[in-house]
Amino acid sequence: MSVLGRMLAVRTSASVALFGLLLSACSSTHQISAQSGLDVHTFTHDSINTHLLVANGAMVMVDPGYEKNAPVLEQDVRDAGFDPALVKTIVLTHGHADHAGAARHFQARFHARVVAGKGDEGMLGTGKNEPLCPTGFMGRWRHTEDEGATYTPFHADLAVTEPVDLASLSGVPGRIVPLPGHTRGSLVVLAGDAAFVGDLFRGSLVGSGAATHLYMCNLEGNQRDVARLLHELAPDAKRFFVGHFGPVAREDVADHFGVSPRP
């Protein structure tokens, strides 16, 4: 093997090791953020962030994660001082197994209303991910496992095709807005000065910056969607809560995608 080949092999091995270490380090955590009248409790399992939005005594859960982690997440909510039976609304930013799989648990056990994008009804109804498009080495390395992840099929109680007032569903002030891209039915949740964006992008593996998600089928479209989020949908948002790692400051999102942070 050439010197260059050995260097690339070492770099690749180091990247894989770092990624695996970060995944294990983030296997189960709970962080609390105060965002302009909104408390955000972020529970992380297997590198997947579930966000519990609390305001005015009401709660909304965003992306409950893998189906296998549902009982642990339920206990996390209890340990944080909340009754999971009072989580009446669950918003799925998209229908992939790592974000949507546990929703059925709360829907069946506590009669939580599940809100999802209409474009992702097919995934929810089959419990299978649609094809994933890797954006780099990490995505290619994980592709077979991630694309093949499944969950017990279920149906959303509300399939969204246009912006929805979050307060009317849950009592938490905010909006649910369709932003197709990562999937056909992707949604973002806007509340206070925070935006919950699922897999529109992710947090950096190291540091607090933004990064392109491991899977995105249209990178130019992704950049346009981020610009639309910053300039049109969430011009006042300061922090962006993502599905993996993060959260990310507005300026860091703009810097990574090469767009202006302000309209």
pLDDT in tens, 104-157: 999 999 999 999 999 999 999 999 999 999 999 999 999 999 999 999 999 999
Mean pLDDT of 149-172: 98
State the pLDDT at residue 146.
98
Looking up tokens 């690749």 gives 12
Q: In the predicted model, what is the mean pLDDT of the chain? A: 92
Other beta carbons within 10 angstroms of residue 180's beta carbon come to 16
Rounded CA separation 30/39 (Å): 13
Residue 198: strand, helix, or coil: strand
Report the share of the chain in percent with pLDDT over 70: 90
Rounded CA separation 149/144 (Å): 9
Please say if the pLDDT value at position 240 is more than 70. Answer: yes
Q: Whole-angstrom distance between the N-terminal and C-terminal Cα of the chain?
A: 51
For the entire predicted model, the pTM comes to 0.91
Please say if the pLDDT value at position 24 is more than 60. Answer: no
Q: Say if strands 175-178 and 187-191 run parallel, antiparallel, or are unpaired.
A: antiparallel
State the pLDDT at residue 27.
60
State the pLDDT at residue 28.
81
By C-alpha distance, which of 200, 198, 263 is closest to 236? 263
pLDDT tens per residue, range 170-221:
999 999 999 999 999 999 999 999 999 999 999 999 888 999 999 999 999 9
Mean pLDDT of 152-173: 98
CATH class of the domain comprising 26-257: alpha beta
User: What's the farthest any 2 CA atoms get from each other in the chain?
Assistant: 63
Torsion over CA: 109, 111, 113, 116 (sign) = positive
Please say if the pLDDT value at position 75 is more than 90. Answer: yes
Contact 197, 155 (CB under 8 A): no
State the pLDDT at residue 201.
99
> Residue 18 corresponds to which tokens in the numbers above?
């770092």
Q: Say if strands 158-160 and 164-165 run parallel, antiparallel, or are unpaired.
A: unpaired
Contact 237, 190 (CB under 8 A): yes
Rounded CA separation 213/51 (Å): 18
State the pLDDT at residue 17.
45
Residue 226: is it exposed, middle or buried by C-beta count within 10 angstroms (0-12/13-18/19+)?
A: buried
Per-residue confidence band for 222, with pLDDT thresholds at 50, 70 and 90: very high
Rounded CA separation 120/203 (Å): 24
> Residue 188 corresponds to which tokens in the numbers above?
């973002």
13 vs 94, higher pLDDT: 94
